[in-house]
Structure 1
Amino acid sequence: MQHAQKKTWPGRAVIRRALGAMAQTALVLLVVSVVSFMFLKLSPGDPVAIMLGSDFSRESYDKLYHELGLDRPLPAQYAQWLGRFVQGDWGSSYVSKQDIFEQAVLQALPVTLTLAACSLLIALLVGIPLGVLAAVRRNSWVDLAASAVAIGGNAFPSFYLGVVLIWVFSVSLGWFPSMGYVSPWSDFGTGLWHLALPALTLGAWYVGLIATVTRSSLLEVLEQPYMAAARARGEPEWRVILVHGMRNVLMPLVTVIGLQLGGMLRGAVMTEVVFTLPGLGMMITNAVQTREYLVVQAGIMMTALLFIAVNFTVDQTYSILDPRLRKHGR
């Protein structure tokens, strides 16, 4: 007698994956917090001396040192910081006297995300058409020009390109501001005007990368039998390339973009410093100079969380682009 196969509730797999992702995220954040906390404590510099200034007594130094808990063992300091951090009590900056959670999450993070989004948009709008043209017009002057743009974009470090753009378009021509930030969410036109050069600086390298990946992937796809079959059915060439071809290019393209978005966040640090944008990169840089360990730690944790969020988003995008992954329960 055959036993009926036991049915599994479909939502169980979803819950299991969600719990696994949450556990993995917590573990990664825990490791990042421990390593960064220990390195910050071992770094040179005395935050108490910076807080008190150049003229202070030994009594005032010892008192503040004790109030900050710096006389306690490092594991005890870490446990105290972690307990407050997970409760949303990130402390206050002793330079700006501002709540660190408000400074990092409500003020700095939107600037960095807006800069990264504008940079990625520029890279996609320029890099994908450039790669498609280079693949369709292979070995022509269009292909050579696209390759030159791609190599040029990869050749310039972001900090150097930023200085060059400031010199040409801000100092010499006066077309764009060289520093400062206006949120596009409050004033769209002025905000984009201020973000034009920083976004171009950060997105230039990714234009070359996306164009190169699009070209190489599309060249491989164009040689597949189903492309010839689409042409044999009488479909126009633009539809063959954009619908049938680009559908299969999206998977490797999303993979590369996802892997490099972390690099974009790192590049945003230098770009924000060059253009004095009040994002996470500028916040961490200023905090390192003034030995504000709590601010640096908050910035590091926010950056790690962004990395995890990007990887999770890319993983979910695979299921959208390829239905077979949903079928197999990825």
Structure 2
Amino acid sequence: MASYMLRRFLGSLVVMWAVATLVFFMLRLVPGDPIAAMLADAGGAEEIEAMRRSLGLDRSLLVQYGIWFGNMLQGDLGNSIYGSRVPVTEALAEALPRTLSLSLLAFVIAIVIAVPAGILSATRRNSATDTTVSLLAFLGLSMPDFWLAILLIIVFAANLQWLPAIGYVPLSEGFWPWFSHLILPAIAVGTAFSAIIARMIRSSLLEVLKSDYMRTARSKGLTPRMLMFGHALPNAMIPVITVIGIAFALLISGAVVVENVFAIKGLGRVLIEGILNRDYPIVQGAVLVVSAIFVFSNLLVDLLYGVIDPRIRLN
């Protein structure tokens, strides 16, 4: 187990390095000069060249890469080259808690809805409950998250005035201010996620419930509760956990549209602004963080395999 996780960890570091390296070179191969775009009409050729030298962009790509990689190993991701030129770590430290808060709340909402819905749908196959759950899951998958976000704002913020429409409040300022600002975007982000998980649980449970060992367990007189939570659900959760792990990583990196609707400057919005402004350090730092989230999610999924099903041995 330990050797397997060590190999996965080292392999994950290689993946993160490869992704960051590709982004480093691909950004600099895109036509255009970010310095000239920044100064526009405010500076001539001498001013542009002076700023390029001050930022180290006049050096060869390999030299720039070597400097960036060496600084990264020391925890220094550089400074933004656009606007106020804040340190990249500072910009990411401000944005990441917002995205993590939104994603975790959306994740909890989705799981709380999806697990009971998937179990009910599977255990009452072809019933009115199954049809209702399938219809709601189809609607959840069909609704664009930005459209649902706008609808939630109109109903709960504009008309009923129960919740704020935009903004973010840190958890340190109180649970309710934090929760009230995030519940609407979390519902908008988590709706499609809950629909996917509910359908996955239903499909996986139906496969398990008609297996031979489940018929044997029923013949031994086990109660429906023991059959479901002691035998069926643990075996059905293996493919579900895989989907949850991947979807959670996508949830964190893909909430940029909803973040814009609710004016939450999270990680996705910082990354998009960095790409549009050709802000190399910001994009590289954000990509490293997103890569780390994907890697951690996959490692956590591998660990959960052994916890859920002891027959799985990680060698």
Q: TM-score, normalised by structure 2?
A: 0.92
Aligned equivalent of 1:314? 301
Letter in 2 for 1:99: P
Could you tell me which residue of structure 2 aligns to residue 123 of structure 1? Answer: 110
CA distance in 2 between partners of 1:173 and 1:46 (Å): 48
Aligned residue number for residue 159 of structure 1: 146
RMSD value, Cα: 2.0
Alignment of 1:36-75 (within 5 A): 36-52=23-39, 54-75=41-62
Q: 1:267-297: CA deviations, max 9, x gaps? A: 2222222222122111112222332211111
Residue by residue, what CA displacement relative to the aligned partner does 1:173-192 show, whole Å, maximum 9, x if unpaired? Answer: 32222210112354111111
Bigger RCO (CA 8 Å, 6+ sep): 2
CA-to-partner distance for each residue in 1:227-261, whole Å, 9 max, x for gaps? 34444444432332233221211112101212322
- Residue identity in the other structure for 1:315: D
SS in 1 for 2:75: coil
Of residues 59, 71, 78 in structure 2, which corresponds to 1:91? 78
Is the 1:36–1:297 Cα contact (8 Å) retained in structure 2?
A: yes
> Is contact 2:246–2:294 with CA below 8 Å preserved after alignment?
no
Aligned length: 314
Paired position in structure 2 for 1:6? none
Separation in 1, partners of 2:118, 2:283: 39
Is this contact kept in 2: 1:269–1:282, CA < 8 A? Answer: yes
Alignment pair present for 1:103 and 2:91: yes
Deviations 1:89-126 (A, max 9, x none): 2122342342211221x222222222111111111110
- CA shift digits 1:28-50 (9 cap, x unpaired): 12211121112211334432234
- The residue that corresponds to 2:199 in the other structure is 212
1:276–1:282 contact (8 Å) kept in structure 2: no
Distance 1:227 1:188 in 2: 44
Q: Distance in 1 between matches of 2:217 and 2:224?
A: 9
Matched, 1:240 2:243: no
Query: TM-score normalized by structure 1?
Result: 0.88
SS at match of 2:56: coil
Aligned with residue 176 of structure 1, among 145, 163, 171: 163
Rg: which structure is higher? Answer: 1
Greater displacement, 42-51 / 133-142: 42-51
Find runs of 4+ consecutive structure 1 residues off by over 6 angstroms: none
Q: SS at the partner of 2:171?
A: coil
What is the alpha-carbon distance in structure 2 between the residues aligned to residue 32 and residue 307 of structure 1? 12
Give distance in 1, aligned partners of 2:41 and 2:164.
37
- Structure 2 unmatched ranges of 5 or more: none
Query: Which residue number corresponds to residue 257 of structure 2?
Result: 270
CA distance in 2, matches of 1:102, 1:17: 34
Aligned residue for 1:132, secondary structure, equals helix
